[in-house]
Amino acid sequence: MPAEGFRGPRQVWNAFRWSMKGLRAAWRHEASFRLEAMLAVVLVPLGLWLGEGGVEKLLLVLGPLLVLSAELLNSAIEAVVDKVSPEFNELAGRAKDMGSAAVFVLLVLVALSWGLILLPRWF
């Protein structure tokens, strides 16, 4: 009998499948996720190319991936809020706005990190 909490290959495979299902759902239903994913498709390889050394590469790539992660969480929050509270509710609106703000803060991080790393090279 496996130890409690043991995650064998089947459980890992199922977790991977559920993650892919979530990515497909975000792509299918969330225009913001599609836009940010296309931005990441451009920025991640560009960051790997333009970054000098491992730390710069990591900083240039990490931002866009964090934006995608935050957008997934924001979309999940919005879906749950819409399911639980379909009518207008101030707290529901606040939760959705805060999720959106988290994505915005990470977009600012992307702009700052790219600017601080790359602009000094060009000016």
User: Six-digit token pair at 112?
Assistant: 């700052």
> How many other CB atoms sit within 10 Å of the CB of residue 1?
4
Could you tell me the CATH number of the domain that includes residue 106?
1.10.287.3610
pLDDT score at 4: 65
27 is in an annotated binding site: yes
pLDDT score at 90: 94
Domain-embedded: residue 86: yes
pLDDT score at 121: 87
Total count of domains within the chain: 1
Domain-embedded: residue 3: no
Of 56, 71, 87, 90, catalytic: 71
Specify burial of residue 18 (Cβ count, 10 A radius: 0-12, 13-18, 19+).
exposed
Residue 84 makes CB contacts below 8 A (sequence gap 6+) with 92
Domain-embedded: residue 4: no
Domain-embedded: residue 69: yes
Question: Residue 62: which domain range?
Answer: 9-122
The answer to whether residue 71 is catalytic is: yes
Gap between the Cα atoms of 85 and 28, Å rounded:
23
100 is in an annotated binding site: yes
96 is in an annotated binding site: yes
Domain-embedded: residue 2: no
- How distant is the alpha carbon of residue 19 from its chain centre? 13
Task: Supply the pTM of this predicted model.
Answer: 0.88
Mean pLDDT, consecutive 10-residue stretches, the chain (123 aa), reads 70 95 97 98 98 96 98 96 90 95 98 96 85
